[in-house]
Structure 1
Amino acid sequence: MPRTKLTGFSRLLIFLLFALPIVYAGAAYYNGEDPVANVKGWLGMDQPEQVDNSDATVPSEESYRDAPATFENVQELREENDRLRRELARCQGTTAS
């Protein structure tokens, strides 16, 4: 049975196949990053945080676009803006520990 030899280029490719992930992981840890999370983010495998919005009512964007700019619509938008700012401040306050 004839034995095949590996060329220099194929040896380089096999070496890089094993060495590059190890080097990347080391560089990412050195820079304070999580290499596994980075790769999952590139591949779209990361899961966003689940936020409980059961009490939030979000009107559709089309309803604002089609409605004329009346005083009531402006007031609704201001109230929604204030509510969202309070929710954001509450969420940032709990995670700022």
Structure 2
Amino acid sequence: MPRTRLTGFSRLIIFLIIALPIVYVGAALYNGEDPVRNVKGWLGIQDPEPREEMNVPPSSAREAPATFESVQELRDENERLRQELARCQGISES
């Protein structure tokens, strides 16, 4: 029986087939994601869970046209938050 040897390229391919999934799972877990759910979403086996976005208004609020009242409310909220931030920074600097 002839003796076969692995070439450098075939060793690289085998290493990548083994190492890349392990690295992906580790990176996904580090980022707080579910790697199995992500892969199932890519393959179309299961719809991925919608990701929660921070500080995003509901879709109905994003679709509504801006009115003077809504813009004024946002300006008032912005001013209130600026004052609160200045108060908090003043306390921490003392």
Per the normalisation by structure 2, the TM-score is: 0.49
